[in-house]
Chains A and B, each alone.
Chain A
Amino acid sequence: MEKRLGKQTVKFSKAVSLLSTAAVAGQKEAEGPLASHFDIIMENAEWGEDTWEKAESKMQKSAVGRALQKAKIDAKDIKYIFAGDLLNQCIGSTFGLMAFDIPLLGVYGACSTMAETMGLAAMSIDGGYSDLSVAVTSSHFCTAERQYRNPLEYGGQRTPTAQWTVTGSGAVVLSEKGNGPYITHFTSGKVVDLGVKDANNMGAAMAPAAADTLAAHFEDTGRSPNFYDLIVSGDLGTVGKSIIVDLMCEKGFEIGENYDDCGCMIFDIEKQDMHAGGSGCGCGAITLCGYIMDRIRNGELKNVLFMGTGALLSPTSTLQGESIPAVAHAVAISAERE
């Protein structure tokens, strides 16, 4: 069990290399500060399709297509695609990726999906079951709104703690060969629920699960938060971000300067009037696949801990008055091998 560290972490013995990444982003995201790091910008929410759901499928297809193109890999050489999204029965992934004709393993981790699919894809390679795997996820503001909340034209007011679902899809190609950056560790998280019921305050609902996974990662690996140039959570938003700093402090880990959240990075929150920031699978996915990977590749960042954070609610559980359980998964990315 030398690959296993502690209770929740695996350390990959092979050099699992991130061959390429690609990010597809929507209009609002392209108006934000990270615009120059996205590979493809959608001209509108429909993107030439007759439904938003089809547009989301096209986003995943395009993200994977572009990532394969960048890695100069033929789709038929990929052994597995690990994919997920927020839609019922994950139709964004299944409808979008069908054409690639590659075995597909569907994953639902709500907004933690990017980290989860990357961790699983890395495991498939480290386990010797695959030499090339793809991880992909997406979210679309319009498909998420109609599934979880109200029709777009409905006149309602959003609370200050509400987050905005990012329209975006991120894909990574992982290989057992390549010169990095490498995925070195994967810490999978437990479902944690501290009783938050407000679906408009997901940051607060997810922060305890995020803190739990982060603490487990440091305990399992023996690393301190200082080891990382950047610790980044997927979509805790401004409220969750301030909560997790407190929670980690109480657990005896100081995170501060080197910690940020994709939900706070992807939009200019004040100017774009984003309330508590971005959310959704796509939020962490395109921030990682675009902006953060660019910074790793150009040498600005060496060690990054990317943690996807997912609120595991459904419209049914919300209507039935249940609180919001959450989960967080983390992958450690290094520019060099140890």
Chain B
Amino acid sequence: MDYTKQEYLDYVQKKSPGSKLFRNMLVAFVVGGLICVVGQAFGEIYKAVFGLNEESVKTAVPITMVFLGALFTGLNLYHKLAKYAGAGTLVPITGFANAVVSPAIEFKREGYVLGVAAKMFTIAGPVLVYGINTSILLGLIFYAFGFGK
């Protein structure tokens, strides 16, 4: 018997092992949570030791976490953790740093202009485009309904 496309796709679905969803979600939750704990710890240290105010802490913590994400990507470690952590390393801001730094490293061989600079945003670009546009939209709604006052 010959399969129709739909019959074959249904059959393939049955034959292909699925991801271990529960395990993946659990590891993602724990690792993602731990990354946030690290961020929180930096925040507390900045407040207690360096006496930064709330506003400055909100700037300093993401800077620190982005730096760490980039550093661990460069040290060839981030993707090894991500293999187990999945969304746990993807969602925090460290994942964004990884998405920018990894193509920058990889495409260095194509030169600093058309390699590093141009390819740097191949993965992160969409996040920027839709992230910035969404904030503009929300900002307009905020403004229109007068929440800003």
Contact = CB atoms under 8 A, between A and B. Distances in A.
For chain B, the bracket of interface size reads 35 or more
Given A50-B109, A195-B9, A153 B19 contact: no
A93 B128 CA distance: 38
Nearest to B110: A51
Interface stretch (B45-53, B55-63, B81-89, B141-149): B81-89
Given A153-B78, A160-B18, A194 B5 contact: yes
A87 B76 CA distance: 25
A159 interface: yes
B82 A242 contact: no
B9 to A, nearest CB: 6
Contacts of B89: 155
B105 A153 contact: yes
Contacts of B85: 155
A330 interface: no
A154 B8 CA distance: 33
Interface string B71-113: 0011010110111011001100001001101110111010000
B102 A150 contact: yes
A29 to B, nearest CB: 20
A154 B16 contact: no
A161 interface: yes
Contact of B102 (A151, A161, A194, A195): A151
B130 interface: no
A196 interface: yes
A242 B83 CA distance: 26
B95 to A, nearest CB: 7
A248 interface: no
A217 to B, nearest CB: 18
Contacts of B9: 194-196
A155 B84 CA distance: 10
Nearest to B79: A155
A155 B16 contact: no
A110 B98 CA distance: 30
A2 interface: no
Given A153-B73, A160-B17, 5 more contacts: A150-B123, A154-B82, A156-B79, A157-B83, A246-B15
10 contacts: A152-B79, A152-B102, A153-B105, A154-B82, A154-B99, A155-B98, A194-B3, A196-B12, A204-B16, A242-B15
